[in-house]
Amino acid sequence: MKRLLFVLLLCLSSFLTTHAQKFENLAMTPPMGWNSWNKFACNINEELIKGIADQMVATGLRDAGYVYLNLDDCWLGTRDENGFITCDKQRFPSGIKALADYVHSKGLKLGIYSDAGRLTCQEHPGSLGHEYQDALMYARWEVDYLKYDWCNTENINPIGAYTLMRDALRAAGRPIVFSMCEGGANQPWKWAKEVGHLWRTTMDIGCHFEKPIPKNGEWYPLSVLEILDQQVDIRDASGPGHWNDPDMLEVGNGMTVNQDRAHFTMWCMLSAPLILGNDLRSMSVATEEIIKNAEAIAIDQDSLGITALRVEQKDSVDVWLKPLANGDWAFCLLNRAHTPAKFDIDWQKYNKSDSLSARSTGFDKITYSIKDVWAKKKAGTTKKNKSVVIPAQDVVMYRLQPTK
């Protein structure tokens, strides 16, 4: 009898591995939400998360599209006598299911965190050897999103490990967005489309617009500009249901307003997930205006889901174009310098064809109306060239719409 049961389990495992696939029709636009790590790291608890949920509603962020409220590391407790994961009872005395119920009652979705290794990055229990148990528990708790990290993964194959968790999530039966977080070391943009809904393309972001000058060998996480430059050659991997993820947003965590606006804008141009990481309970008016700019968000959430292409670098200015639905384009000038930059826009110079979208700007044949996304006003048409001044470490971003 035991032998028969063992054979049946092997057959079931083989069937699940062969036939499992990620949940379709999830993350058809880049996920939007909030994550606890960038601001709070391990200093999280039930009261904080409920307060953030309240603020996501009160500030209008939920209605702007930010619907995922994601716990990062340090929510985990121990495993019970049967190997099932539990939460830290001191931090989350009501349990994760009760927290999910509260988050859902606010019209939001709950995300959770684990790791493919023995331990998480903060040395809490990882999912290695417990993938199906953990996926089943997430389903029972009615979790909606899983961020799956890559610490303490010695001698583990990343494709196998992430595929295993994908299969476990599928077997548990609850549609869960699968966010892969192996830091880009194994080039997930080449293989993860069938495994996850989004995957990190780089190591962790820090609250730096450009790379800081190291002091006495001090290590820094990656800056906004460093991460941006690493996205240029992998745009073809991203699209509806399968997104390149350049990491979470640092808007509101200490950079200048100009830098925050440029950071947010370039993530929108990349069709990146917009996962906030600031304290929503005490953010400034300027921060709120940036992260709630509906026209910038619309460019990120465009139904084509195509990442922008960088078409020129001239002195301190990058020129980016992003094809949008209905024949529109997003046109963005990024000034990397510490001083304002004057830039002359000769539209005919940007008669560009994009093989990924099979589209051309066609400035020689099409006249576009210009909408300044951050000034929130019309800015003429492409019949005439423009001269603009881009503030220091800031952007000018236009939405171009064909005229009749």
204 part of the active site:
yes
Q: Is 24 left (phi over 0), alpha (psi -120 to 50) or beta?
A: beta
DSSP state of 10: H
Phi first, then psi, for residue 380 (nearest 5°) are: 85, -155
Instruction: Tell me which of 72, 73, 115, 149 is the catalytic residue.
Output: 149
Q: Which of 246, 253, 262 is nearest to 307 (CA)?
A: 246
Q: Which two tokens stand for residue 31?
A: 């996920």
Whole-Å CA distances, 134 to 15, 75, 139, 183: 20, 14, 9, 22
Q: Print burial letters for 184-206: b (CB count within 10 Å at least 16), e (below 16).
A: bebebbeebbebbbbbbbbbebb
Instruction: Tell me which of 54, 88, 101, 204 is the catalytic residue.
Output: 204
Q: Print burial letters for 322-346: b (CB count within 10 Å at least 16), e (below 16).
A: bbbeeebbbbbbbbbeeeebebebe
Residue with tokens 């500030």: 59
372 part of the active site:
no
Q: Which residues are catalytic?
A: 149, 204
